[in-house]
Amino acid sequence: MIRPMDPERCHDPFSLEGRVALVTGAAGHLGRALCQALASAGARVFLAGRTAARLEAFAEELRAAGHRADALPLDVTSTRSILGAVRTIETEAGRLDVLVNNAHVPRSGAFLAARREDFVEATELSVAAAHDLVTAALPLLERAALDGSPSVVNVSSMYGVVSPDPRNYASEAEQNPPFYGAAKAALLQYTRHAAVHLAARGIRVNALSPGAFPAPGADPALVARLSARIPLGRVGTPDELATALLFLASPRSTFVTGVNLPVDGGYTAH
């Protein structure tokens, strides 16, 4: 029987000392906060994304703060790139305790403007890439299960649960497109499927569904309209998502698998 880490052995119950994490979309708006949380908890974090210069600058920033971080250029739509990244982690770290599937390309667009190829691209980025990473990293996750409780966290969206409200947007062109929510909903079902099938290997799979986390420079009118729809009366900040990730990645959630944790201020509760 695989035994989870004993949280009582850790001074910090959410400590990830000695653990290794991989985060895709690491240099993005939410990705940065997710990486910072994992690194601050003691994990060695591999920062994955397409732009090597941004990743290295972010890695330097984390290292300057006393954390362990490595830039890892990765195209999640390329099997060859995924296999290469996993080989790098195996060579340099030998295990993988936390895999965060967070790759995302922000797009907007009217419902009727969506094309077939948009749905294919979104599904490939959200679901197929997550599966390719999980299967490629499986030996490293299984190695981590020998003395821990490895965690896969898929970053979905509130729009994988409910539809965007067109009234929140000033024009059709600014709306959240239908292929985004469809792909994120598929990622939630993949999460449940993977959780059940990997449980016997000691690997947990969960999802986070962020609500409104507007990037700096977002349209204030849009932020105000979204805030008015959120029961807590405001939008979220990236660190509020990061703490939810830390729970799912930590020894405090070793009996949690197959769940979707909304972090949306109550948006999907009504």
**For the purposes of burial, counting CB atoms within 10 Å of the CB of 255, is it exposed (0-12), middle (13-18) or buried (19 or more)?**
exposed
Which amino acid, 39? A
For the chain, the first-to-last Cα distance in angstroms comes to 41
Residues 6+ apart with CB under 8 A from 166: 111, 172, 175
| Nearest by Cα to 176 from 122, 247, 138 | 122
Residue 93 DSSP code: T
**In angstroms, rounded to a whole number, what is the distance separating the alpha carbons of residues 111 and 192?**
28
**In angstroms, rounded to a whole number, what is the distance separating the alpha carbons of residues 169 and 186?**
24
Residues 6+ apart with CB under 8 A from 47: 23, 26, 27, 35, 55, 58, 59, 62, 69, 70, 71, 72
**In angstroms, rounded to a whole number, what is the distance separating the alpha carbons of residues 113 and 253?**
42
Instruction: Assess contact for 226 and 168: CB atoms under 8 A.
Output: yes
| Tokens found for residue 26 | 């690491």
**In angstroms, rounded to a whole number, what is the distance separating the alpha carbons of residues 236 and 84?**
35
Q: Which of the residues are catalytic?
A: 180
